[in-house]
Amino acid sequence: MSRIQVPKIPSSELTPEPLYYSRRTWLSLVGLSGISAFIAPSAAAQDRWPQGKQGPYDTDEKPSTFREITTYNNFYEFGTDKSDPAAYSGDFKPKPWTVRIDGHVKKEADVQLEDLLKPFAVEDRIYRMRCVEGWSMVIPWRGIPLASILKRVEPTSKARYVAFQTVLRPEEMPGQRRRVLDWPYVEGLRLDEALHPLTFMATGLYGRDLPNQNGAPFRLVVPWKYGFKSIKSIVRMTLTATEPPTTWNLSAPDEYGFYSNVNPEVDHPRWSQKTERRIGEFGKRKTLMLNGYAGLVEGLYAGMDLKKHY
Amino acid sequence: MTSDRGSRFRWSKVVAFVLGLVPFAWLAYRFATDQLSVNPLDDITDETGTWTLRFILITLAITPLRDLTGWSRLSTYRRMAGLYAFFYGSLHFLAYLSFDKFFDWAEILPDLASRRFIVAGFAAWLLMLPLAITSPTFVTRWMGGKAWKRLHRAVYVVAILGVVHYLWLVKFDIQRPLIYGALVIALLGYRVWAWWKRRSVGTSAHAR
């Protein structure tokens, strides 16, 4: 039952993340020890990017550490403090996992997650993640593009949106025992957003299975939208004709819209979105339009007033 | 007379003084040893804010506790608790100005004037300022007890503003601000009740 201990893995058992993305940097930090002679040959083959080269969608920014990514989470199903998901997700069982895909599709599916993923090769993607609260990280995800899955289930011509739903297990998710939000958590994307090559279904990070606190075993990653759009622990995806409801929008419609694209020019009604603190840094960075992915995704919003469709 | 007794040296006051510094020391220790979250600057802002509110509550709780227990010496700790509320409030404000805004006044001034949770928090801190300044015994004497008492009732407004500030800043889960709000209502409610009781006793005494 090793998965139950995810938050408590001794640090000695983790692949140190510098080793993961850059043996050379790590070696230079360690210094001139004789060990470097042994590892150097493999280090030459390994680069910063786990797949050996920078993919077209990877950021070249320094990834946040494994500790940063796995101890500072907004996953209200396990509690509303950032430390709650790591502390209280130990009882959550991400295996076995079934995903239902229905709605306007030719091939409805009720599949085991392994079977759903089997036809595809997993990829590593290093993405920026910007939280609506004003902080950000860089996360090396592992998974597959959502488009690969959607193409397999063949959306019909009526399908215009994808609705996502998180698992409802109050007995394993203590945060769901309090009605902070209207459980289960639901999210949605327009079909063209869902089919965009950046839109990713993560099953891991840092080359390992997703820890429970990060949305195990199967979660959405939409890097140009605020983090809460990237719904975790997904059990259902439904292709719909109309815009599906989304949890934060239902809770506070004037603060959280359906699109929720990262946009430094549209402030949250109560705080500025112009800057962000990258976790691990002292100063603040300027928040980038569409979280720095404008060149890739702005075409999706041509002719739309993003101040109105926030 | 109470203020005379309050300004006399007592070991128990030294203990209270040290206790008030414990949250600060604990925060500093965890910061220095990397035991805060991976976003330690936000933790500093959050914790100093929480302790401001707690010390305001402690300040407000002292009078009811004194009345209930009859332990009149409790009043001597009220000033210290109030000053600690100001101390943590000032740290909280400074954390916002420095870590959050890096003294960028072009960002800060519009914030102070228009973002409602910041307006409430700033107003609370501004109101604490005259209370802190008029806390030394010689200022109290110079002002006269009545005027001083009237001025220091502003702490009731500070408490309400503090809770409103908290309520308006949380993303959605308002459980904790509501708990603080309920405590403030209870502590202010006690004063209304005590005042009403005193008044009715006063009038009946007059009638006799």
Chain B residues with CB under 8 Å of A282 CB are: 41, 99
Q: What is the pLDDT of residues B64-96, one digit of tens each?
A: 999 999 988 888 899 999 999 999 999 999 999
- C-alpha B206, offset from chain centre: 37
- Long-range contacts: A16-20, Cβ < 8 Å, 24+? A17/A63, A17/A65, A17/A66, A17/A206, A20/A50, A20/A140, A20/A206, A20/A207
A-facing residues of B in 175-194 (CB < 8 A) are: 175
Q: What is the pLDDT of residues B119-171, one digit of tens each?
A: 999 999 999 999 999 998 888 889 888 999 999 999 999 999 999 999 999 87
Candidates A283, A287, A296, A295; CA nearest to A265 is A287
pLDDT over 90 percentage in chain B:
74
DSSP designation for A261: B
Check if the interface score ipTM surpasses 0.90: no
What is B137-162 written as a DSSP string? Answer: HHHHHHH-HHHHHHHHTHHHHHHHHH
CB A180 within 8 A of CB A245: no
What is the model's pLDDT at position B103?
93
What is the model's pLDDT at position A37?
40
- B187 has a pLDDT exceeding 60: yes
Residue type, A275: T
What is the model's pLDDT at position A50?
62
What is the model's pLDDT at position B205?
52
- For A79, the closest chain B residue by CA position comes to B173
Chain B residues with CB under 8 Å of A7 CB are: none
Q: Where are the domains of chain B?
A: 2-194
- B115 has a pLDDT exceeding 70: yes
pLDDT band at B200, cuts 50/70/90? confident
Q: What is the phi-psi region of residue B197: left when phi exceeds 0, alpha when psi lies from -120 to 50, beta otherwise?
A: alpha
Alpha-carbon distance B175 to nearest alpha carbon in chain A (angstroms): 9
Alpha-carbon distance B40 to nearest alpha carbon in chain A (angstroms): 9
For chain A, say whether B103 makes contact (Cβ under 8 Å): no
Tokens representing A157 are 């011509």
Out of A251, A280, A284, name the one closest to residue B172 (CB). Answer: A251
Which residues of chain A, if any, have pLDDT below 50? 1-8, 23-47
What is the model's pLDDT at position A226?
98
For chain B, say whether A169 makes contact (Cβ under 8 Å): no
- Long-range contacts: B67-75, Cβ < 8 Å, 24+? B67/B194, B72/B2, B73/B5, B75/B2, B75/B6
What is A68-118 written as a DSSP string? Answer: HHHHS---GGG-SSTTHHHHH-TT---SS-EEEEEESBSS-EEEEHHHHHT
Tokens representing B91 are 């740290």
Which residue reads 């997700």 in tokens?
Answer: A89
What is the model's pLDDT at position B202?
67
For chain B, say whether A285 makes contact (Cβ under 8 Å): no
What is the model's pLDDT at position B140?
86
**Which CATH code is given to the segment(s) A55-301?**
3.90.420.10
What is the model's pLDDT at position A51?
62
pLDDT band at B12, cuts 50/70/90? confident
- Long-range contacts: B1-10, Cβ < 8 Å, 24+? B2/B72, B2/B75, B2/B76, B3/B137, B3/B140, B3/B141, B5/B73, B5/B76, B6/B75, B6/B76, B6/B79, B6/B137, B7/B137, B10/B76
Q: CB distance B41–A277 less than 8 Å? A: yes
Q: Where are the domains of chain A?
A: 55-301
Q: CB distance B169–A76 less than 8 Å? A: no
What is the model's pLDDT at position B201?
77
Out of B39, B115, B168, name the one closest to residue A72 (CB). Answer: B39
What is the model's pLDDT at position B33?
94
Taking the C-alpha atoms of residue A33 and residue B203, their distance in angstroms, rounded to an integer, is 89
Chain A residues with CB under 8 Å of B173 CB are: 76, 80, 180
Candidates A259, A261, A252, A255; CA nearest to A292 is A261
What is the model's pLDDT at position B10?
81
